[in-house]
Structures are given as C-alpha cells and as structure tokens.
Amino acid sequence: MSSQSPLPDGESAAAHVDGERLWRRLGELAALGATGGGGVRRLALGPEETLARRLVGRWAEARGFSVTVDGIGNLFVRREGRSPSAPPVLTGSHLDTQPAGGRFDGAFGVLAALEVLEALEDGEVSTDAAVVAVAWTNEEGARFQPGTMGSAVFAGELELASALAIQDSQGVTVGEALARVLEESGVGEPCSTGFPLSAYVEAHIEQGPLLEAARVPVGAVTGIQGLRWFEVVVLGEEGHAGTLPATRRRDALMSAVDVVHALRAVLADPEDLLRFTVGRFECSPGSPNTIPGRVLFTIDLRHPDAAVLTARADLIAQTCRDAAGPCEVSVQETVSSSPVVFDPRIVELVERSARRLGLDCLRLPSGAGHDASHMARVCPTGMLFVPCAGGRSHTETESAEPGDLAAGARVLAEVVCELARAR
C-alpha cells in the first residue's frame, strides 16, 4: 500500500490530515454539553460525555477501527500495524471538561489522534506498530478527584479498585457512573487495564500565551512543571471595627496581606518561570464592621526544575511566620507533584517534524498538568502544543484557530508515523 505512495510515509499521512474534517468534528463534539456562553460543560462519566463517547465510537467504527474500553473507562481506537509483536504507539487526550470549560481542552487531542488514524487510512500508510487513539477518563477532576484518573490507573499509579470507589459530591462512585456510561453508550469491547506501549504523544492547546505571543503554530513540549500546593491559615482575633485601636488589633486580614506581600517578594523570579498564585482567599467572619479573625488562602507554586521548585517552596513557611505580625499562621502542604521531563528524542522529533512541514516550532514546558505526566513514567512520552487565544483555558471563551489545529494534527501525524515506523 504505502510502497506505492509518491511521498515518504510520514509526509503522506500529514498530507492526508483533513483540517476541515477536524474542525467540523470539534464543532459536533462541542455541541454535546454546549453552554450559553459558547463553552462546554461535559463532566467526566456524565450523560454528555456518554454522547461524546458514542460519537467518537461511531466515527471509529465507520473506518473499521476497533474500539475497546479498559477497567477505568479509558476508550481506545485501534488501527492495526504490520507487526503484532510491536507495542502500539498511543496518542490522545480526554473528552471531559471543566464545569464551565472550553471547546478545545482535551477534545483537540482526542480528535487530532482520530484524524491521524483517518489520515493513515486515507494515505494508505502502513505502520509497523499499531497506532491507537485514546480518550482518557476524568482528566479534569471536576466531578471526581483526583484528575488525570484514567491515565494514573493505566500507568499503575492509582489502583483500579480505589479509583472505582471514589465518589462525586452526590455520593455516586466512579464504578457506578462508569457502568451507566458503558451501558448507555454501548461503545467498546472490554480490554485490559494497562498494556505495553512503544510511545505516547499528546496534542493539546497550550493553555498559556507563549505560542500566540511568539506567533508560532507548534510547541515542542519539554516537560510538565512541578507543582506544590499549600494552605495557609492566619489566625487573629475578631473585634469591633469602631472601637479597637490599631495598636491593639490582631487583624487576620492585615496580617494575611502582609504575608502575601512578603511571599511575592521571596517568590519573585526575574526569569518569569516560577508561577505563584493565590487563587482562594477567604476572610472570616466577613462583616464590614468586624475585624477579621481568620483568613485562609491557598498557594499554587510551579516550576519546571525540581531543584528550583524545592528551594523556593522551602521558603514559604518561614516567610509566612515572619510576616504575620501579631497573628498566628499555619502552613500545610496539600499537593506535591514533581516536574516531568519528556523524552528528548520525542521533543526533537516534534521539532524536526514541524520543520519538515515548514512550520515554526518553539520548545516550552507545560504549565498545566496532563495525562502525559503519568504516561512518562511507563513509556517514552511527549506532547505538542498549538496556540490558544490569549492563553485562555478552563473558560467558556477558550478559542483556537482552525489553521493552527490542522497544523498541530499534521505534526502529530508525522511524529506518530516515525514512532510507529511507517513504511
């Protein structure tokens, strides 16, 4: 088949990527859970995600690809390779969204993966290893915590039985919700949870502003930065706003303001790679004429370099204590995730493939977490990014250009062909 092709196999597959089909399918998928604000609400293992699985399954079966589902609900679409003994190349992302999410986060990676399979078919390219597209279960963690659940179970980092027992806020378990999804979608034969892979590559919108700012259509992702979460509680004493002199106050709000100020100074980064966010900030009792007695705030700290992240995170507790003035302060770490470094051969392959297609490419780390971070622990793994408008994501106004999405899918086709040793 491919031996008749006038183009090398990778280029032939890329040439058969159909940007219009990809864009049309993104629109059809976005209709499932569409919100009034132009976004998508498609929670993990809910009714809209069931419809999305059915739609993807229909597209896959129309081309004769096999569809399977593992024990945690990860959905696999498989195009066979020539060599049954070669472990497959896996590519994909997720179909679930944030409660008020966008049209591209996750959806692009799944449909770009399906587009690669279609392009291999359309270009009559045969590969040595099978190529498998995946839709991971519950990447977002909006309904069931933690997120990136499907890939964590696949990679053996979370036990299947534990994951199935996790409940949503209504008391519904992952296991119960998954049983309903499988029954109602009718998509996918059962398969084993976890199997050998030769590589994993995930395409995603950047969710940050760097590619757009650089006017570059493709990013070769070097890794996923490490993440540390802290919860800080500042305890003062409530009092009457009209009567208590400043010198006698133990004002939790004023101390918390000083603490955040001090943290910002200590966590300043001239390179602008350290990400420091106070996202939640709650002040009690919250009455205009009562001096606040308690403030709780969160710290989200990220950096791609494990040593830098540790060094900076180690400064937090002491800085909080030193700046809290007359109030007491307690600092608790709630989440810690080490930086992930992607396989350098795949980073280079993404760059090389982009160049071959005449596309500019920028190396950058991922600011957000992804299923690829679990996969990096079990097989050579990489990611490629495409720009999104204003770097906005996890919002209904998330937006991306059809041309950039098609370019990303073409690079993905090249990368997958090379990894699966296409002929």
Using the minimum distance from each CB to a second copy, give the nearer residue, 298 or 310.
298
Concatenated DSSP letters of 22-52? HHHHHHHHHTTTB-TTS-B---TTSHHHHHH
279 binds a second copy (CB under 8 A): yes
207 binds a second copy (CB under 8 A): yes
Q: Least Å distance between CB 334 and a second copy?
A: 8
Using the minimum distance from each CB to a second copy, give the nearer residue, 280 or 377.
280
Residue 328 · residue 378 · CB < 8 Å: no
Structure tokens at 367: 């600011």
Q: Least Å distance between CB 387 and a second copy?
A: 12
DSSP letter at 4?
G
CA 12/CA 22 separation, integer angstroms: 17
126 binds a second copy (CB under 8 A): no
Using the minimum distance from each CB to a second copy, give the nearer residue, 6 or 242.
242
Q: Applying CB under 8 A, which part among 26-34, 124-132, 191-199, 233-241 lies near a second copy?
A: 233-241
240 binds a second copy (CB under 8 A): yes
Residue 252 · residue 293 · CB < 8 Å: yes
CA 217/CA 90 separation, integer angstroms: 23
Q: What is the residue type of 336?
A: S
- CA torsion 279-280-286-291 (nearest 10°) is -80
Would you say the C-alpha torsion 345, 138, 387, 365 has a positive or negative sign?
negative
Using the minimum distance from each CB to a second copy, give the nearer residue, 274 or 400.
274
Binders of a second copy in range 361-390 (CB under 8 A): 366-369
- Give the residue, chosen from 82, 180, 275, 423, that forms a contact with a second copy under the rule CB under 8 A: 275
169 binds a second copy (CB under 8 A): no
Using the minimum distance from each CB to a second copy, give the nearer residue, 3 or 289.
289
DSSP letter at 3?
G
Using the minimum distance from each CB to a second copy, give the nearer residue, 160 or 241.
241
Tell the residue number behind the tokens 């809209």, with chain if given. Answer: 48
Residue 177 · residue 191 · CB < 8 Å: no
Site string for a second copy, 284-303 (x = CB under 8 A): --xxxxxxx--x--x-x-x-
Residue 174 · residue 392 · CB < 8 Å: no
265 binds a second copy (CB under 8 A): no
Using the minimum distance from each CB to a second copy, give the nearer residue, 160 or 368.
368
- Residues at the interface with a second copy (CB under 8 A): 206-210, 225, 227, 229, 238-248, 251, 253-254, 257-258, 260-261, 264, 269, 272-283, 286-292, 295, 298, 300, 302, 366-369, 391-395
